[in-house]
Structure 1
Amino acid sequence: MSDDGLPVGETAARLGLTVRTLHHWDEIGLASPAARTRAGYRLYTDADLERLRRIVVYRELGLDLDAIRAILDEPGGDVADQLRVQRAQLAQRIAQLNDLDDDLARMIEAQERGILLSDDEQREIFGPDWNTEWPAQAREAYGQSTQWQQYAERAASRSAGDWAAVTEAMTAFEAELGAAVDAGATPGDAVSNSLVERHRTLLSQFFPVTRQMQVCLGRMYVADPRFSAHYDAVRPGLAVWLSRAIDESARAAGIDPDTATWQ
C-alpha cells in the first residue's frame, strides 16, 4: 500500500471482492476511493477500506445496498433496529429452509419406500390381504421409471387420511364396476366406456395414465394372479371384463389394444 492508498485491484483482492463490484459501488456512491495517483488512478485510503469492510460485513448479513448506505451515512439512524429487522427476516428464511428440508426428506423417503406409512397403517388402510412388501417390489421393478418418480412425488405429500380416501374411492368404484356388469353392461357400450374413463382418472392420482398405459394395465389384471384374484373377488370374471372394456374404449379412441405399449 502506498502512502496515499491502495489500488483498486489490491483492494479487491484484500477484501475478497471483484474489481467490478468496487467499480459498481463507486458508481452508485456507496464507496468511492478518496485518493488518486498523479496519473489519475484511484486509491482507497485507510478510511475507505474501513468503510468497505463494514459494507462487506453488512452485505454478508443479508442487508441490501440501500439499507447499508442508510446505516453508514445516517449517523442518527438506529443500526440496532436495522439489524433486528434483518434478523427477523433471517429467522423467517431459516424456517422456510427447515420446511424445505422436511419436504426434501419426505421426497427422498418416498422415492425409496413409495408409501410413507408404517406396516400397520398400510394393513389398516389397504386391508388384511395387503402385502407390505409390494411397494419395495414395485420400486425394485420400476424405480428408474418416470412413473415411479411421479408416484413418489405425489406419495410424499400424502397422509394416512389421504391414502384412506384414495382407497375408499377405488373400493367404491370397483363395487360400481361389479354392479354395472351385473346390470348387463358390455365392453364397448356407453356405460363401460364411461367406467373405463373414470378408472383412468382414478389411476392418474398416482401418475398420469395414458390410454396405452391403461391397456397394458388391463392385460396385467388378467395375467397377474394377484390382480385377477382382487377383481374377481369383487365379482367373478370382473378382471377379464375390465380388461376387455379397456381394450374396446381404446379401440374407439383410435388405439389398437393389440399393439399398445407403455407410453
Structure 2
Amino acid sequence: MPAAPPAPSDGLTVGQVATRLGVTVRALHHWDEIGLARPSARTAAGYRLYTADDVERLQRIVVYRETGLGLDAVRAVLDGPTTDVPAALRAQRAEVAARAERLRQLGVGLDGFIEAHERGLVLTAEQQAAILGPGWDPGWSAEARRRYGDTAEWLRYAERSASRGPQEWQGAADALAGVEVALGEAMDDGVVPGGPEANRLAERHREVFSASCFPLSRQMQVCLARRFEAEPGFAAHYDGVRPGLASWFRRIVDANARTHGIDPATATWE
C-alpha cells in the first residue's frame, strides 16, 4: 500500500506546496535541482517534504519572482551576504518601468491599427482635405471599408495607414497626383493607348499606387480603371485633371493589360 500523506506537522508535499503558493510542481522540482529551494525532509518512502522554514523561503522566492527578478538574482538577494537588496530592487523597478513604457507604446500602436482597420485613413477630415484636396470625400474611406474590409488588400492598406502620419500621406498623395498630371499631359499630347509611352504610364500608375495603397496587379488595375470611369465620384476626380481622362486612363490600362496577355473583358480582382 502507498504511504499515507504526511500530516502538516511533518511537512508539506510538493503538491500541497504548489497549491498553497500557486506555483507548478515542475517549478518546485527545478528550484530543488538547482539548489535554490530544497526540501529539508523526506518521507519514509523518499518523497520530498517542505518544512515551515522551507515554505517561508519559497514564499520569498515567489514574491521576488513576481517582481521580475531572474532566479540568479533571487538567489543573490536571499543568500548573498553582501547583496545590496534595495539597489537590486531599484534596478528591477527601473526595468519594470521601461517594460511598462514599451507596453504603453504597444497599446498606442494597437489603437492605431484598430483605427486604421476601421477607418482606413487615420486622419481628421481637415487633414484629408488639406492633403488630398477639396474634391476628396472623407466618406470614400468608409465606403472602401464596407466593400473591401475583409480582403487582403484592405489589410495591407490599413497596416500602411497605421504607420503613416500627415507628412507620409502627403508624400503618397503627391506621388499619385504626379502620375495623374503625367496622364493628363500624355492625353493632351495624343499618346495612343497600347503604345510604349501609354504602357509606361500605365505601369507607372500601378507602381505608385502599389507603393501608396496596396499591391496592385495588372488584372486589379483593369478593374480599378473601370471603377474610375464608371463611378461618378472617381470619374469627376480624373475628369477634373483633364476632361475625358477617366475614360482615356481606362483605355490605356486595358491596352497595357493586353500586351501582357490579359483579356480586360475577363479580368478579375486578383
Gaps of 5+ in 1: none
Is 1:198 aligned to residue 204 of structure 2?
Answer: yes
Q: TM-score, normalised by structure 2?
A: 0.92
Match of 1:11 in 2: 17
Letter of the aligned partner of 2:250 in structure 1? S
The 5 Å alignment of 1:176-255 reads 176-204=182-210, 205-255=212-262
Match of 1:48 in 2: 54
The 5 Å alignment of 1:12-31 reads 12-31=18-37
Give the whole-Å Cα distance in 2 for the aligned partners of 1:42 and 1:220.
Answer: 75
Q: CA deviation at 1:229?
A: 2.4
Match of 2:64 in 1: 58
Q: CA deviation at 1:123?
A: 1.6
Match of 2:3 in 1: none
Within the candidate set 66, 83, 100, 1:94 is matched to 100
| SS at 2:255 equivalent | helix
| SS at 1:6 equivalent | coil
Q: Which runs of 4+ in 1 moved over 6 A?
A: none
Conserved 8 A contact 2:135-2:237: no
Give the whole-Å Cα distance in 2 for the aligned partners of 1:243 and 1:2.
Answer: 85
Within the candidate set 60, 74, 77, 2:83 is matched to 77
Letter of the aligned partner of 2:85 in structure 1? V
Q: CA deviation at 1:3?
A: 3.2
Give the whole-Å Cα distance in 2 for the aligned partners of 1:132 and 1:221.
Answer: 17
Within the candidate set 133, 140, 143, 2:146 is matched to 140
Q: TM-score, normalised by structure 1?
A: 0.94
Q: 1:12 to 1:191 in 2, by over 3 A?
A: same
Letter of the aligned partner of 2:96 in structure 1? L
Comparing 127-136 and 28-37, the one that deviates more: 127-136
Q: CA RMSD in A?
A: 1.5
| SS at 2:9 equivalent | coil
Letter of the aligned partner of 2:249 in structure 1? L
Q: CA deviation at 1:184?
A: 3.2
Is 1:106 aligned to residue 112 of structure 2?
Answer: yes
Q: CA deviation at 1:67?
A: 1.0
